Amino acid sequence: MNAKELRAKNSRDLNQDLLKARREQFSLRMQRATGQAVKPHDFGRVRKDIARLKTVLAEKAAKESGK
């Protein structure tokens, strides 16, 4: 997932993707807490995906309010 692909989506799809990413992050935390094998790089990947989604959503909101 990169910012260029995200900017092509509408706000509704971005919010759904953000919800999915947060659920994945929660799932990873639960797996780590229960002692299941989790790849450490997945935490950083999901965290960065969430930040990317939130940034694009903020850009869209600023653009809409600036009209």
Q: What pLDDT digit, counting tens, does each position of 8-57 carry?
A: 999 999 999 999 999 999 999 999 999 998 899 999 999 999 999 999 99
Residue 67 has pLDDT above 80, yes or no: no
- The full set of domains in the chain, from first to last, is 3-62 (1.10.287.310)
Residue 62 has pLDDT above 70, yes or no: yes
48 compared with 3, residue with greater pLDDT: 48
Nearest to 24 by CA among 48, 5, 7: 48
Our separate counts of H helices and E strands in the chain read 3, 0
> Which pLDDT does position 64 carry in this prediction?
87
- From the number of C-beta atoms within 10 Å of its C-beta (0-12, 13-18, 19+), residue 58 rates as exposed
